[in-house]
Structure 1
């Protein structure tokens, strides 16, 4: 056990998150997502797992160590409900609350159509599967930077 690290974060997940660079993307997905086949196409090339966690809990753990990108318009994205792109299920509302808490500000999810989400996930750095049984517990997060205190402030999104 390590101090100040969420105990949900295992060594494989921590290594992947630490290895990611600015602008790389991580996918957190529910138990219904084709995680293994999609993960094989990612930069990491293998699936990471947080089986005991629901989506919101996994988002909280990951964002406890991963800064979101401030240089892009949408550093947090969610899979759209098929046929109802404006619907935001409870699972996504719970994850939205975790994102806002982790960032200390509102960072609204952008939505991505289901098949476009799959395509984007295949280009991600890595995929983390959760034990989330509710549908649409699937998210993409873009890694930002942690700047030294004497560094210039990041620019606003484009």
Structure 2
């Protein structure tokens, strides 16, 4: 056992986060996402939901402040309103010292292509639509 590791961070996820380098990306995918067919490294966190995993990861991993964007949301097309779960994500960004981060939105198939290049994909049981999110790892300053 280790101290101060959030309970939803599995040993495999902790290992993946440690292996990732500056600029590597990790996807936190909802239950509808084709995670197994897109992943170089697949981490299953069945029964868990994205907000708790996102918050836990952001307590451990810095986001890339040098990139144009370090957080990416999946959208279906030119939606006029954001899915409700995005508001929760923005609250988590605020509470994890990532107030200056402005998430980018990627159309679904562009998101899939970027996800295929990610270091790892976390498969969750999240049921919210368009809940998928990509995080780009930064450096500790």
- The reply to whether TM is greater than 0.5 is yes
The equivalent position to 1:58 in structure 2, one of 49, 53, 58, is 53
Q: How does 1:39-118 map to 2 (within 5 A)?
A: 39=39, 45-80=40-75, 82-118=76-112
Look up the match of 2:120. 126
Paired with 2:100 and 2:46, the residues of 1 have a C-alpha distance of 28
TM-superposed CA distance for 1:86, in Å, is 4.0
Where structure 1 has 5 or more consecutive residues not aligned to the other structure, the ranges are: 40-44, 148-158
Structure 2 SS opposite 1:71: coil
Shift of 1:76: 0.7
Q: How does 1:142-153 map to 2 (within 5 A)?
A: 142-147=136-141
- Alpha-carbon contact 1:29-1:35 (below 8 Å) kept: yes
Q: Secondary structure in 1 aligned to 2:96?
A: helix
Alpha carbons of structure 1 residues 104 and 126: separation in structure 2 relative to 1, 3 Å: closer
Aligned to 1:2: 2
Q: Which has the higher contact order (CA 8 A, sep 6+)?
A: 2
SS at match of 2:60: coil
Partner Cα separation in structure 1 for residue 54 and residue 80 of structure 2: 21
**RMSD of aligned C-alpha atoms?**
1.3
Number of residue-to-residue matches in the alignment: 141
CA contact (8 A) 2:41 2:119 kept: no
Counterpart Cα distance in 2 of 1:83 and 1:121: 17
Structure 1-normalised TM-score? Answer: 0.84
